[in-house]
Amino acid sequence: MNRSVDELLQEVNELRRRIAALRSAEAERVRAVEALRASEEDAHDFNEKLTVLHEMTNRLSKAATVDDLCCDAVVLARERLGFSRVGIWFVTESGQLRGSFGVSEAGEVRDERGVERPVLAPAAKQVLADRCRVHVTPDVVLYDHTGTPVGRGNQAVAGLWDGEKVIGFVSVDDMLKPGSLTNRQAELLVLFASALGHLCSRKRAEEERFKLEAQVQHTQKLESLGVLTGGIAHDFNNLLMSVLGNADLALEELPPANPARQRIEEVIAAAKHAAELTRQMLAYSGKGAIIAQPIDFKSLVQETLPLLSVTISKKINVVYNLSGTLPRVNADPSQIRQIIMNLVTNASEAIGDREGVITISADVMECDQAYLSQTVVNDDLPAGQYVYIEVSDTGCGMDRRQSRQIFEPFYTTKFAGRGLGLAAVLGIVRSHKGAIKVYSELGRGTVFRILFPASGGGTQAAQARAPERETFRGSGTILLVDDEASIRDVGTRMLQRLGFSVVQAHDGRHAVDMFREHAASLVCVILDIAMPRMSGEETLVELRKLKADVPVIVTSGYSEGEVRPRFGEAPFDGFLQKPYTHSTLTAVLRATLAPRGQAGTGL
């Protein structure tokens, strides 16, 4: 059967069409197979990355601090997840970016913790503005950690979430490869950022807890040492009362030419020096006497200059940097001078025989809670204006361990040191509701900044008490109450020398009985507070019930500022801090009895 040429051509074309269709189908099949293979490879690679991410998370969870965590994270993100440039940033309360760590294209790790700058990258702005998980931007301007443009490339930013808000973000970008970051990479970045945000939040909470626990432990340790030190100082003052009182009486009984006077004067000087040490111990424990008044720190430092020049080596150059105008501070001038003297003496000893510089500064600053929480005295101090004295030196400096221990009583780095100077400084600052900031670097020097809350009040000139020049003579009977027989004996001899008759009592109950028996002739009571059976506070309440108009002078090894609040609604009329001398007793009796017309006569 003969077919026409047209029919043959049609068959040929149909065959060609079928062949083309087959080839197209084959090509489509090959592409589908390749796409499936690529998808499988991509899924396999993604699963591998997820496994790596899981391993990374386990490793990062063991980091000790947030800083260690971020430093390890950027390195692992580059090495294990395949990102090029990686950076971690945190958002401050003011909306700025605070750097953490980053890694460059070359694998160089950058410490960016000191960097703070505005949000520049569009992707970062988008994440923070929309609170989204990730934002990918192709072909954008890229910046380095200082905010300087470094070229164009692809960037993806994923937010670090703490469960409630974005606390920062992870930024990855690529200046070398063309094309956008893949969706898989974006998904991987989201998972990485999610894990990192959770870890950062947890580490921050742990760091804060450890910090609070350390502060509580440190505070409890200082309080325990304060109680111990205060108790030792109180008991030591009682012992010194017997030594100083007897020596003082013996000195008055000797004629001026007696050769024994010099020896007794040396005993008195040693006893007074020991009393000064107990005052430093009481200052550390917060039980030292405070005679507060509005003072000008600038004037106070200038007045202390002659004393400072004696304690500083001639090889040391002293630089003064005192602000022109400072708010007043309600403080005890003598205790502030003690702080300055202790700090300058320590600075001079830190420099030693070498040449060096000590800088003494006074200025005012606004302190927020964040700053005050980093100070040595962190007693929930209120934010506000603080006047500070700063003493810096170019001496040997300290390591971290020494810096943590310097305020502990009896801790010293000096061969002949007592370890009470800085302990006293701490106690004085705490009793003034102030704070201490210490910066030190081994081999470079140390800076002590002592902060006191500004009062803003005017100054008051301190009125110095004129020395007692008259011979005081008393009359009548005084009830002397103390559980220490040696103190009763010394006190009795002092009072008898002044013309008084003395009735003794060895504890509170005995004192009430003796008071009831001799009430008609009593002109005064000298009452100790730390006694068995009945305390001084309880005894005073009972005495007031029997006869309220008899003046009572309280005596203690603690300071008046520590003692007076303990008496509440039963105030006393005068105070004697042990150890006291005959002249101190005379002055207190005169001041207490004179307003009542019982001061005796001056002959």
**Model confidence pLDDT, tens digit, residues 351-367:** 888 889 999 999 999 98
φ and ψ of 107, to 5 deg: 85, 15
- What pLDDT was estimated at residue 1? 53
Is-contact 175 84, C-beta < 8 A?
yes
pLDDT one-digit tens code per residue, 158-205? 888 877 788 888 888 775 454 556 777 778 888 888 888 888 888 888
Which residue type does 401 have? R
- What pLDDT was estimated at residue 221? 67
- What pLDDT was estimated at residue 419? 47
Mean pLDDT of 445-458: 82
Tell which CATH classification among 3.10.20.440, 2.40.50.100, 2.160.20.10, 3.30.565.10 matches the domain 293-453.
Answer: 3.30.565.10
- What pLDDT was estimated at residue 131? 65
- What pLDDT was estimated at residue 468? 42
Which residue type does 577 have? Q
pLDDT winner (highest mean) among 44-58, 105-119, 130-144, 383-397 = 383-397
Mean pLDDT of 34-44: 65
- What pLDDT was estimated at residue 3? 66
- What pLDDT was estimated at residue 414? 54
Structure-block tokens of residue 267: 């005993």
- What pLDDT was estimated at residue 455? 82
pLDDT band (50, 70, 90) for residue 500: very high
Cα atoms found within 13 Å of the Cα of residue 197, Cβ hemisphere only: 22
Mean pLDDT of 326-330: 88
Is-contact 305 273, C-beta < 8 A?
no
Question: Which has the closest alpha carbon to 426: 390, 374, 383, 378?
Answer: 378
Mean pLDDT of 283-302: 72
CA–CA gap between residue 342 and residue 362 (Å, rounded): 16
Mean pLDDT of 263-281: 76
For domain 66-209, give the CATH number.
3.30.450.40
Say which residue, 158 or 409, is predicted with more confidence: 158
Report in angstroms the alpha-carbon separations of 37 from 29, 41, 44: 12, 6, 10
CA–CA gap between residue 25 and residue 47 (Å, rounded): 32
Say which residue, 313 or 132, is predicted with more confidence: 313
417 pLDDT higher than 50: no
- What pLDDT was estimated at residue 378? 64
- What pLDDT was estimated at residue 602? 42
Mean pLDDT of the chain: 80
- What pLDDT was estimated at residue 391? 92
591 pLDDT higher than 80: yes
Q: What percentage of the chain reaches a pLDDT higher than 90?
A: 12
Strand blocks (E) in 353-483: 356-367, 384-393, 435-441, 445-453, 472-473, 477-481
Which residue type does 241 have? M
- What pLDDT was estimated at residue 23? 82
Alpha helices in 61-121 (DSSP H): 66-79
- What pLDDT was estimated at residue 62? 85
138 pLDDT higher than 80: no
Question: pTM here?
Answer: 0.48
472-602, superfamily in CATH?
Response regulator (3.40.50.2300)
Mean pLDDT of 312-323: 84
pLDDT one-digit tens code per residue, 212-254? 787 777 667 666 766 676 677 777 777 888 888 888 888 888 8
Strand 384-393 to 356-367 pairing: antiparallel
- What pLDDT was estimated at residue 449? 93
Say which residue, 469 or 302, is predicted with more confidence: 302
pLDDT band (50, 70, 90) for residue 603: very low
Domain ranges, ordered by start, for the chain: 1-60, 66-209, 217-284, 293-453, 472-602
Record: fold of 217-284: Helix Hairpins (1.10.287)
Rounded to the nearest 10 degrees, how much is the dihedral formed by the CA atoms of 6, 8, 13, 14? 120
pLDDT band (50, 70, 90) for residue 466: very low
- What pLDDT was estimated at residue 283? 62
Within 8 A by CB and 6+ apart from 342, the residues are 421, 422, 424, 425
pLDDT band (50, 70, 90) for residue 461: very low
Is-contact 351 316, C-beta < 8 A?
yes
pLDDT winner (highest mean) among 86-90, 228-232, 257-261, 455-459 = 86-90
310 pLDDT higher than 70: no
